[in-house]
A and B are shown apart, each in its own frame.
Chain A
Amino acid sequence: MVKFYSSTDTLSYPFPAVTLAYFLRYPNPYSTHVVSTDTISRHYDPETQQLTTVRLHLKRSKLPSAVLRLVPRSLLGASASGDTQSYILEKSVVDIRNGRMDTESRNLEWTGVLSVVERQSFIRPFPEAEKDAQMWKGMENAARRHGFLAFGPDAKVQDTGESTDVHSSVTLHSHIGEKWRKKRAPEDGGEGEEEPPQKVGFFNRWGTASLQRSIEMIGLKRARRSQPNAKEGMKVVLERMREGGLVAVLEGMRKDREAILHGGHHHHAFKNSRSPNDDDD
């Protein structure tokens, strides 16, 4: 069973700025749960001009109370209140020649309970020349249809190349209870759906499939809820870049980091937003 969620969006910033903002997106006022970010490998291929980066993020999170009801805390390594930390592995490939950046983030731990794979592609719209040609053709036709030809060759389309398309998806997959079932199935001579109660513990109260479904649904809900925050975080970084370049981004990061270190939630942004992991069901 797999849950899948996807969305498409446009950022009104040029592709190169978006890729830079991706690398600089933590810390931002919406990411106080991100404790650290490290680059663990980076490779530049001069032939293809592709840059491959692997980073490791440590995020603080609070397990949803719904999960805590389903799975014992001891199994999840969480504290009594559900506080936990998780490592996220992020891989990205920037292809500057083709105007494309593909990213993938996944949790490193508890993948048996729930594996969450988040993918984002940032794409530079049509190359300018091609787009202009298309636009021009379209306008000419429209103008002809409407009986006038008002557009001269100087007519410039605003914002061409100043936006970036974003495709996001989240794939959730729970394998909880599966290994046991697979192992037992041949001996039981069946699918192994009905497991002997004395051996299955809490799994039998649910049945593996419904437990997986429940966990995936909780994960899906959480992923949906965190999407707007992730988007806002990127936008904050991009706005800083537009206003004051790299210097402003770095200065903003310094302030955000201080705020995180002091546990401060003083930024006005928090008034209207919840921390992505601060959910009860």
Chain B
Amino acid sequence: MSASLAPECNEVKERYDNCFLKWYSEKYLRGTATTDDCQGLFKQYETCLSKVLKEKGIDNMLKEAREDNRENDAEHLRPVRSLGVFAQDIHSLVQKR
């Protein structure tokens, strides 16, 4: 299985991935799935991962990426007057404003 971004989440990720693969291949692909059987394990995995996403500032990146109108957002960023500030501006896309 693929590795997690957070090594401490590898174990719970593997348990979730295994559950998902079983559900996906045995139920979903056969059109017999009525619910997502792995939600419980996903919650555990999510709890572990979300800490790391927050620490690395990725949660903010994700929030921004999910707003479809990124370009519009960019319009509202503060004015950029020099290369130095431009660099900061790019960083503000990555880190929290």
Q: How many A residues face the partner with a CB closer than 8 A?
A: 54
A residues within 8 A CB of B5?
35-36, 38, 56, 58
B36 pairs with A180, CB closer than 8 A: no
A42 pairs with B42, CB closer than 8 A: yes
Whether B2 sits at the interface, judged by CB under 8 Å, is yes
A23 pairs with B24, CB closer than 8 A: yes
B62 pairs with A42, CB closer than 8 A: no
B21 pairs with A246, CB closer than 8 A: yes
A residues within 8 A CB of B58?
56, 87, 108
Number of contact residues on B: which range applies? 35 or more
Whether A51 sits at the interface, judged by CB under 8 Å, is yes
A108 pairs with B21, CB closer than 8 A: no
| Given A38-B13, A44-B36, A246-B25, A202:B1 Cβ within 8 A | no
A20 pairs with B45, CB closer than 8 A: no
| Given A179-B89, A246-B21, A35:B3 Cβ within 8 A | yes
Partner-binding segment picked from A109-117, A143-151, A219-227: A109-117
Complex alpha-carbon distance, A97 and B6, angstroms: 35
A residues within 8 A CB of B71?
175
In the assembled complex, the CB of B88 is this many whole angstroms from the nearest CB of chain A, namely: 10
Within 8 A of B (CB), among A173-200: 175, 177-180, 182-183, 199-200
Shortest Cβ distance from B50 into A: residue = A40
B residues within 8 A CB of A113?
90
Within 8 A of A (CB), among B54-94: 58, 61-62, 65, 70-71, 74-75, 77, 79-83, 86-87, 89-90, 93-94
